[in-house]
Structure 1
Amino acid sequence: MNTATQKPVLTRAATAETTSDPSSVMTLLADCGTDGSPITSYRSTFAKGAVGAPAHFHTRASELFFVIGGELQVLVGDKVEVLGAGDFLLVPPHTPHAFAAAPGSEADVLFVFTPGMPRFDYLRLLGRVMRGEASPQEIKDSSELYDNHYVDSPRWRAALETAAAQK
């Protein structure tokens, strides 16, 4: 994006669009290409035990995580970590990753994709699927469009099973 055409992007909390499902709320902050934004960013709050995303990778963007509050359990490659308030994680392209609220914890997380690409329609679709208003097949069919490629991770499945057993 030509920096000469960029302008400030301001999203007010009171008027930001949100999408939600029974266990999380996503506040949409900046979508690449919208109002000149070169990045895509949103904030997610997860209830205790909420699963954020299954194992996946991006081919074009790095995904940044900044934990505002609570704890977030993440898969990075084949390693599971717990991030606490103030922790930052950058996941480069082609690196499998997944995330969920850490066992027994809520999580409040800022996500940033760079370089950005329009993703808000994908986030809206996720909300509809989680609420039973759309088919999971629609997510599978959109993997190239939104650069979200799902993979199997026995390590992540084991981590989620362990967390479920601790409830």
Structure 2
Amino acid sequence: MHKAIILRDTVPTESIDILGGVINVMSDAGQGDEQSVTVQESEKSGFGPPPHSHPWSETFYVISGSVDFMLNENGYHFEAGAMVYIPEHQVHAFQSGVNGVKMIEFTGPGSQALDLFRSLSTFLKNSSPEELDRVHQIFSQHGATLCI
């Protein structure tokens, strides 16, 4: 039986600084929830991951600001009110627009997204950005593929 996720509070259980933005954890599949729910936000442009894929789906809902998504080599611009569903194994990336973005992200079953975010955040805080090979390894350890 599937377990319902009920978010009664807007206070995150954890905040992860990464790639120029903040990922606020609202629900964590690694802690027994059915899926992970995050609020991802940045007040400036350029926040977001490089092209990558993983074996779980993701759904993003844009709360405010704007974001440019790349889905299988096609580019899309989304503003507040837009929703984007990304099936598993699809190459995708996004970057926040000029005034930043705030999005809710829902991950599908089997997601390792939060562990990936935590590992990558820790690595980037303690390393130089030139260590791309290690970034590839971190993605791989969490079931994702970095496509650069």
TM-score of the superposition, structure 2-length normalised?
Answer: 0.83
Instruction: Please report the RMSD computed on the Cα atoms of aligned residues, expressed in angstroms.
Output: 2.4
Q: Does the residue aligned with 2:116 lie in a helix, a strand or coil?
A: helix
Provide the rounded CA distance (Å) in 2 between the counterparts of 1:100 and 1:85. 14
Give the structure 1 partner of residue 27 of structure 2.
30
The offset of 1:108, in angstroms, is: 0.2
Residue pairs, 1:114-129, within 5 angstroms: 114-129=108-123
1:133 and 1:10 map into 2 onto residues whose CA distance is: 35
The residue that corresponds to 1:81 in the other structure is: 76
Correspondence for 1:143: 139
Match 1:14 to one of 8, 11, 15: 11
> Deviation at 1:9?
4.9
- TM-score, structure 1 normalization: 0.74
Q: Using a 3 Å threshold, how does the CA distance of structure 1 residues 31 and 22 change in structure 2: closer, same or farther?
A: closer
Structure 1 vs Structure 2: percent identity of aligned residues? 20
| TM-superposed deviation, 1:126 | 2.5
Contact 2:47 2:95 in 1 (8 A): yes
List gaps (5 residues or longer) in structure 1. 153-167
Deviations 1:34-91 (A, max 9, x none): 1x31112211111222331000011x21111110100011101111111100100101
How far apart, CA to CA, are the structure 2 residues paired with 1:109 and 1:22?
Answer: 15
Gaps of 5+ in 2: none
Count the aligned residue pairs. 146
Name the structure 1 match of 2:90. 95
Cα deviation digits, residues 77-130 of structure 1 (max 9, x gap)? 11111110010010112211001112x221001111111434322212222234
Whether the aligned pair in 1 keeps the contact of 2:4 and 2:34 (CA below 8 Å) is: no
The structure with the largest alpha-carbon Rg is 1
**Matching residue's letter, 2:90:** T
Cα distance, 1:41–1:137 mapped onto 2, change above 3 Å: farther
CA distance in 2, matches of 1:107, 1:56: 20
Equivalent residue letter for 2:142 = Y
Query: Residues 29 and 14 (structure 1 numbering): CA distance in 2 closer, same or farther, change over 3 Å?
Result: closer
